[in-house]
Structure 1
Amino acid sequence: MTGSEDWSFSSTADEVVKAFQDRVGGRTFLITGASTQSIGEATAIALASSPKPPSILILAGRSQEKVLPVVEKVLAISREVTVIFVPLDLSSQASVEAAAERIISDSRVRKIDVLINNAGIMACPYIPSEWNEKDNAPLEQQLAVNYIGTFLFTSLLATKILEASPGARIINLSSSGHRFGGIRWDDLGFQGGRVYDAWDAYGQSKTAIILFTIALAAKYKNLGITTFAVHPGAVMTALGRYMQPEGRAAVIDRLKTISNFETLQQKSAQQGCATTLRAALDPELEEYSGSYMSDCQVAEQADHAKGVENAQKLWKLTEQILRKSF
């Protein structure tokens, strides 16, 4: 088996899957955001291409039109895999609850070995979400999709994930962009959009995902579920649909102001999902549950994205927003 020091920026998904094929074969994987031209698509195809393919791949996404081509690609690779499409709009509580119920009630899905929360949006214009802060001001859409909806979806599926423990994993897609901003504890919604900054909002949402990962690790520490927040790297996908060329230049300039920033190097989708797959499959990582990963290695996140106390504070705040306890 490949040693942990051998995984790096240039590692590919196929290399990871081949190395840990015994952790792929016969298992059930759920991937959100598995649409065309996405890291989710690359993740699904890599898993299906394993010498020992999964038993079930559940591909969740907002657009059936964009996910079904991925389903067809997976089936063309391996007819051994049962592929299930689930409609999921993370900006809608009704959609999230319906998607979770659909999975829970599907007799084919006895357990979920690995949940990969891949879906997300980036740097979109201000859009108010259906969720509100305690003062009834609306939360903005990046926090809603990248974090609130993901929190709810994961929590609703906890029983199915626990069925696969010990050995189950939850992988949350974060980003080095979490360094753009921490949690605005007293103003999550940017004053109802009046002081909205797309990159500050993106940073807040990706910081929230890291803190969510820390909270999950603490919650399931003795229950056999391991969890990681991963930064895939700079990958050209449909995620960047809101960015014009000048916007890309602006974000690179902004990244240069952040400590520990190195020259932004482009990755292929295969390289981008390698970190996700190592986090999902490598047994050597179990002791690092709750960690942030980048370039296939455990890495250091920004100070504002650390601490069990912050993680639990955000968990409680999220329960208040959803008016549910988990």
Structure 2
Amino acid sequence: MPVFDATTTSEQVVDAYRAQVQGRTFVITGGSQPSIGSSLATSLAKASPAHILIASRTAAKVEPVLAAIREIDSSVKATFVQVDLSNYASVRKAAGEILNATASKIDVLINSAGNMAIKEYTLDAQGIEIQLSANHLGHFLLTNLLVPALSAAAASDKSKRGARVVNLSSNLWTAYGQAKTANILFSYALTQRLEHQGITAFAAHPGSNLDTNLGSHLVLEDYDDIFEITKRNTGQDFVFDEPRFKSYAQIGATPLAAALNPDIVTAGASYLQNCQIVEPIEHARDAEAVEKLWDLSEELVGQKFPY
């Protein structure tokens, strides 16, 4: 069994688990170029998946990624579906298009899209704070609408690999941190509800990278606020990840390990950092918080998912 760490690259993970990629259908949110999602998509393309579908806001920003997939392996079906995760009518429309494009079978869903450190308090189309909306609630709704396709893939897979959901998480800022904590709690809730259908969920912290567009609106001085905010909200000093930054070749490794490593299937959802299972902070795994978040999320998206 390969041993991965903070220096592992996306290509190394995919190469180690080629059998978990070959012939399978992957749906990735937020795959504009450059992004973690685009890194995931092009890395997966090197191991002969059947289909990579990217759901993102802007077709023009995704087209270079689709072209790269086709250049890597012209036999891989590469599809774009437009979605604005902060607009739930858009999410519902996109879910229908994704189900149609994948013939209602999805082996792996990677929720990679997101926003970060929005400087002004901003509301989405429904009147909800934009970071909670795009990072968690939009994915909560989309994932649940795609559960029938995940369940169908798990049931029809003769290799019994099951289906997986990977929610990208992180550990920065107040609103962003709350949304990313929600990603971890959501992963626990999904596994508890859907493991009997062969669906497991994982949260993955990819690390920090300066090549993607996620923090392109920030300057270095903006990061100074992290220390004060963390101390105020948690009573603890903020400590940067090690390594402080990962290369573009490394940034997708942990989400891919969560998506592909067959040895990390556990009785409950897992949180990965630097390609390894680690225990998240207590409030991100609290059983009561898991249930409260699920109920609140259903209320805010206006739909019940009683599994």
Q: Same fold (TM over 0.5)?
A: yes
Q: Among residues 86, 101, 105, which one is paired with 1:91 in the alignment?
A: 86
1:270 Cα deviation after fit:
2.1
Q: Distance in 1 between matches of 2:220 and 2:92?
A: 37
1:253 Cα deviation after fit:
6.9
Q: Distance in 1 between matches of 2:303 and 2:104?
A: 25
TM-score (norm 2): 0.91
What is residue 181 of structure 2 aligned with on the other side? 207
What is residue 49 of structure 1 aligned with on the other side? 46
What is residue 157 of structure 2 aligned with on the other side? none
- My pick for the range that moved more, 10-19 or 256-265, is 256-265
Q: Among residues 218, 237, 248, which one is paired with 1:243 in the alignment?
A: 218
What is residue 187 of structure 1 aligned with on the other side? none
What is residue 60 of structure 1 aligned with on the other side? 55
Tell me how many residue pairs correspond in the alignment. 293
Superposed CA RMSD in Å reads 1.7
Structure 1 residues 110, 323: closer, same or farther in 2, change over 3 A?
closer
1:263 Cα deviation after fit:
5.2
**Structure 1 residue runs without a partner (length 5+):** 132-137, 178-198
Stretches (4+) displaced over 4 A: 252-257, 259-264
What is residue 76 of structure 1 aligned with on the other side? 71
TM-score (norm 1): 0.86
1:288 Cα deviation after fit:
5.5
- Partner amino acid, structure 1, of 2:82: P
- Partner amino acid, structure 1, of 2:176: Y
Q: Deviations over 1:221-264 (max 9, x none)?
A: 22111110000001121000221121134336766954665556
Structure 1 residues 325, 205: closer, same or farther in 2, change over 3 A?
same
Q: Distance in 1 between matches of 2:266 and 2:19?
A: 20
Q: Distance in 1 between matches of 2:147 and 2:237?
A: 36
**Structure 2 residue runs without a partner (length 5+):** 155-159
SS in 2 for 1:230: strand
What is residue 153 of structure 1 aligned with on the other side? 142
Structure 2 residue 267 is matched with structure 1 residue 272: no
Structure 2 residue 152 is matched with structure 1 residue 163: yes
Q: Deviations over 1:268-297 (max 9, x none)?
A: 122111001111011100126411110000
Contact 1:214–1:307, Cα closer than 8 Å, also in 2: no
Structure 2 residue 107 is matched with structure 1 residue 113: yes
- Partner amino acid, structure 2, of 1:9: A
- Partner amino acid, structure 2, of 1:285: I
SS in 2 for 1:221: helix
Q: Distance in 1 between matches of 2:202 and 2:296?
A: 21
SS in 1 for 2:215: helix
Contact 1:211–1:306, Cα closer than 8 Å, also in 2: yes
Q: Among residues 27, 31, 35, which one is paired with 2:28 in the alignment?
A: 31
Q: Distance in 1 between matches of 2:284 and 2:257?
A: 22
Q: Distance in 2 between matches of 1:249 and 1:127?
A: 22
What is residue 285 of structure 1 aligned with on the other side? 264
Provide the identity percentage: 41
What is residue 295 of structure 1 aligned with on the other side? 274
Contact 2:6–2:243, Cα closer than 8 Å, also in 1: no
